[in-house]
Amino acid sequence: MRGRLVVLFAGLLALGAPGALAQAAGLTASSQWTTGDGVATPAGLPSIGKWMLTQQGEPSDWLGEVYEGKTLREPINVIIVDEAAASVEDAKARLVSAAAQAGYPIRFGHSTGYQGVIGGSLYAQLPKGWDDAFSNDVFEVDNNHGRIFGPHATGSAYIFIAAFSREDVDPFRDPGHRFASFNRARDDFTQRLDRATDHKVSGFVPLDNALVDDPRFTTGDHDGVAVLVRAGR
């Protein structure tokens, strides 16, 4: 999703602790999206929010995209468990580095300010630049991009969740950026992590967040499953 076209200095990419980041960002969301049917409770993991949420605490709609006559809703489709990180800061740094190694560095040109729910807590997005996302190409061409939320510390592991999508770009079309796929972006990102880094695909987690027969909302090609990635010692 296209954002403001500004040049960001490296200092803006500094990542803060999740608690401080949440307080600074004033994160908030209705309990409708942080408890009950708004979350999944997969075995061996904390509760996972089903949706990427906006700054207003509502499920993101891909900037108002209408897909096949329905409003899009952006699902969480990746879960990352880091069992090797020494701290919150280390977990963030390791993931940012792994994403870059996998061909998904931080790039500008995307909307920001999103949040996700892990273990009942809200986490602001990474990266936290003004219009940044992790992406496999520049925003002027077709690309996969995503935002990552966390980490949530539990036991000896740090847990992130993410929402990735693919957009098709045509400057001669209005709008020029259109939704293409959730599954293609999810699978490409996680497979590249698996091939290029110590973050390995280890399974699949049903999140029950595919909207199939809803009269108003759709999740496109999303199958309701998050790819589980683990980084071990």
pLDDT value for 14: 32
Query: Does the pLDDT of residue 184 top 80, yes or no?
Result: yes
pLDDT of residue 70: 96
Q: pLDDT tens, 15-71?
A: 333 333 343 346 888 788 999 999 999 999 999 999 999 999 999 998 888 999 999
pLDDT for the residue numbered 17: 33
Place of tokens 């699978």: 187
Q: Which residue has the higher pLDDT, 165 or 176?
A: 165
Tell me the pLDDT band of 173, cut-offs 50, 70 and 90: low
Q: What is the mean pLDDT of the chain?
A: 87
Going from N- to C-terminal start, the domains of the chain cover 33-231
The conformation of residue 194, written as its DSSP 8-state character, comes to H
Mean pLDDT for 168-190 is 85
DSSP E strand boundaries for the chain? 39-40, 48-49, 66-67, 70-72, 78-82, 106-108, 115-118, 121-126, 132-135, 143-154, 157-169, 177-181, 199-206, 217-218, 225-231
pLDDT at residue 174 in the model: 59
> How much is the pLDDT for 145?
96
Q: How confident is the model at residue 206 (pLDDT cuts 50, 70, 90)?
A: very high
pLDDT at 16: 34
Chain segment 100-154, per-residue pLDDT in tens: 999 999 997 778 889 999 999 999 999 987 778 999 998 878 899 999 999 999 9
